[in-house]
Structure 1
Amino acid sequence: MCLLFFLRELMNLLGPKFGPMKSVSLEKRSLACLWFLGNTETFRSVADRFGMSKETLHFLLAQFNGIFKSHKFLNTFISWPTTDVELSNLAEKFSQRAGFPDAVGAIDGTYIPISGPSEYRDSYICRKGFAAMHLQAVCGPDLKFLDVFSAYPGSVHDTRVYRNSPLFQVLQDLPPKFHLLGDSAYPLSTSLLTPYRDNGHLTLEEKRYNSAHSSTRVDIERAFGLLKGKFRKLKFLDMRHVEDIPSTILTCCALHNFILMDESLDESEVVLECVSENVQCENDARESLSGQRKRQDMHVLT
């Protein structure tokens, strides 16, 4: 997607929502917000670049994020598959990668580094030792996000984020045939299949399962790499109000999908992003047993 076409399409969407502002044109407002998200410059530097005060840029970014945060607007770009046709199409495309059947999404979490608040700072320190916000996402085989959730600080484990996210409830209604693929940080269930723990005694079938699982699930790591490559501000969000950070993250995810709607994927921009904890979590017994049965009955295509 060429820059001018992208900007024109974006302004057509934002115009009715942004509202009038005599001192700053719609084009400049859009460009300033996009520049801030796409680079690692400070608020002051971006404001100077576009000839506005730092306070004005803060106000514009809050407006920009507020538009994308609205439920109706966000669902325009990030939507969960609801029909059997949509689910089957996703499963077919995923199976073409490594023969893993009936997968409709790959789930993972990633850390978004932040400066961190002075109060309760320890709650934001992730296992890698820096202050961060947690982003949970599910992507399809085209690297578009199907679901995103950012509400917890970096110290919270992937399992807790997952169980407290709206997605967890949505998956209760997922047709039994289908499932997401997640790593071992997630609880095994019929709607979320994880790999076998490698205890050194895996059967050939279990090894084939793990290989196909890994080769398919890697798409979410590729999606995170592409997201942070296009929106480099996510490599360090130095925003003074922590409560504004989740909406900034969701805006970047929505723009990521908007770009991919009309732009062919450039593999050279994809850098694998792998941050999940490779640990076995304590699973709910009912879910674990049913998930184990489904996993054991899985026949990976060759």
Structure 2
Amino acid sequence: MISSCISDKSCIPLGTGRIEDYVEETVPTYTDPMFRAHFRMTRSSFEKLLLLIGPEISLTKTVSLERRTLACIWYLGNTETFRSVADRFGVSKGTLHLYLSKFTEVMQRHQILKNLISWPISDVEYTQISEKFSERAGFPNVVGALDGTYIPISGPTTFRDSYICRKGFPAMHLQAVCDSSLRFLDVFCGYPGSVHDSRVFRNSLLHDALQNLPGKYHLLGDSAYPLSNMLLTPFRDNGHLTSEQKKFNAAHSSTRVDIERSFGLLKGKLRKLKFLDMRKVEAIPGVVVTCCVLHNFILMNESFDEDMVEFERDENVNESGSETSEISERSAENLSGIEKRQEIMNLLG
């Protein structure tokens, strides 16, 4: 309605100058649904976030933790420019940069990160995660769905070609593993968009960590990744798949789809990830990881309303490429993966 837009300072057109007392006068008038729509979480969750990060941030007498945090979340949750967000919160662009730099640094500190993005380490955790995954299609012993997605960026002026992804735009690669509740268990960001999924995986800490995964458990990944005992990929469709192989692939796909839904929710809530226009490329991974931490924080602190975000297949989710060859699937290193995949195919059949 026109009347509600006029009375709501969040609807003020861009480029109209600084908004006076937005945090002090306007934000308190927001209803709970309005607050959640603007700041991507409920008031209750926001208050918990302040309690979480408060001890980690040194404050000045003139700037409240609430203002700093609201400004950062607004920036990450919308597609507005730095100038527009700075004007909304009554600060300069330089000050907003400082706010965001500190916020992302704090959100990645070990004390916070270990409670929000953590890899399962106990048999109890493995069992709980795998049982939830198996509810959908009966696929056994899955402890995570793995994939990569492109984070569109403006791109650097130097070495720009290395950031051009296969879809033709500059991007940074985000690799992630999620559970069936769409919560991230592991995230890894920083490689240019031109780098293939399998190479990013091989150079991530996750690759080494999986060496310690109990033998019966595994991740699910698409055919861009190398098949192994720890990472099961679908049968390659050469046009001659058996009915059992097709059934395996269908169960694999319907189970692994949670990582696509997780990326969809991440970019739906924290819309800045649809395009990060940041000059300092080295600062981008920190912003992306911070968004992943916020994603988990929100999921862990409030009931999930699936109607709030329209789940579509993430347009930038990486598809399989040519780097992973049939030869790699036949290598001795992956024989155990071939055997495990065959066993599960027989079980599902």
**Bucket of the pairwise TM-score, normalised by the shorter protein:** over 0.9
Are the aligned partners of 2:163 and 2:170 in contact in 1 as well (CA < 8 Å)?
yes
* Structure with more contact order per residue of length (Cα contacts < 8 Å, sep ≥ 6): 1
Instruction: Find the aligned partners of 1:62 and 1:21 in 2 and give their Cα distance.
Output: 16
Instruction: Find the aligned partners of 1:143 and 1:8 in 2 and give their Cα distance.
Output: 23
**Structure 2: gaps spanning 5 or more residues:** 1-35
> 1:264 corresponds to which residue?
303
Instruction: Find the aligned partners of 1:101 and 1:118 in 2 and give their Cα distance.
Output: 47
> 1:294 corresponds to which residue?
340
> 2:154 corresponds to which residue?
115
5 Å-filtered alignment, 1:133-172, equals: 133-172=172-211
Are the aligned partners of 1:145 and 1:253 in contact in 2 as well (CA < 8 Å)?
yes
Number of paired residues? 302
| Cα shift readout 1:211-251 (whole Å, capped 9, x = no counterpart) | 00000000000000000000000000011111110000000
Instruction: Find the aligned partners of 1:86 and 1:162 in 2 and give their Cα distance.
Output: 23
| Cα shift readout 1:35-76 (whole Å, capped 9, x = no counterpart) | 000000011110000000000000110000001122332111
SS state at 2:177 partner: strand
| Cα shift readout 1:248-285 (whole Å, capped 9, x = no counterpart) | 00000000000001222222213321522223513272
TM-score calculated relative to the size of structure 2: 0.84
5 Å-filtered alignment, 1:186-197, equals: 186-197=225-236
Are the aligned partners of 2:221 and 2:231 in contact in 1 as well (CA < 8 Å)?
yes
Percent of pairs with identical residues: 63
TM-score calculated relative to the size of structure 1: 0.97
Instruction: Find the aligned partners of 2:136 and 2:170 in 1 and give their Cα distance.
Output: 35
1:221 aligns with 2:263: no
**Structure 1: gaps spanning 5 or more residues:** none
Instruction: Find the aligned partners of 2:279 and 2:239 in 1 and give their Cα distance.
Output: 48
The equivalent position to 2:286 in structure 1, one of 235, 247, 259, is 247
| Cα shift readout 1:142-201 (whole Å, capped 9, x = no counterpart) | 000000000201111000000000000000000110000000000000000000001121
SS state at 1:297 partner: helix
> 1:6 corresponds to which residue?
45
Q: What amino acid maps onto 1:64 in structure 2? A: F
Are the aligned partners of 1:101 and 1:301 in contact in 2 as well (CA < 8 Å)?
no
Instruction: Find the aligned partners of 1:279 and 1:42 in 2 and give their Cα distance.
Output: 34
> 2:57 corresponds to which residue?
18
Instruction: Find the aligned partners of 1:301 and 1:142 in 2 and give their Cα distance.
Output: 23
Instruction: Find the aligned partners of 2:111 and 2:332 in 1 and give their Cα distance.
Output: 36
Are the aligned partners of 1:212 and 1:300 in contact in 2 as well (CA < 8 Å)?
no
The equivalent position to 1:53 in structure 2, one of 88, 92, 117, is 92
> 2:123 corresponds to which residue?
84
1:175 aligns with 2:217: no
Larger radius of gyration: 2
Are the aligned partners of 1:208 and 1:300 in contact in 2 as well (CA < 8 Å)?
no
RMSD: 1.4
SS state at 1:85 partner: helix
Instruction: Find the aligned partners of 1:300 and 1:5 in 2 and give their Cα distance.
Output: 45
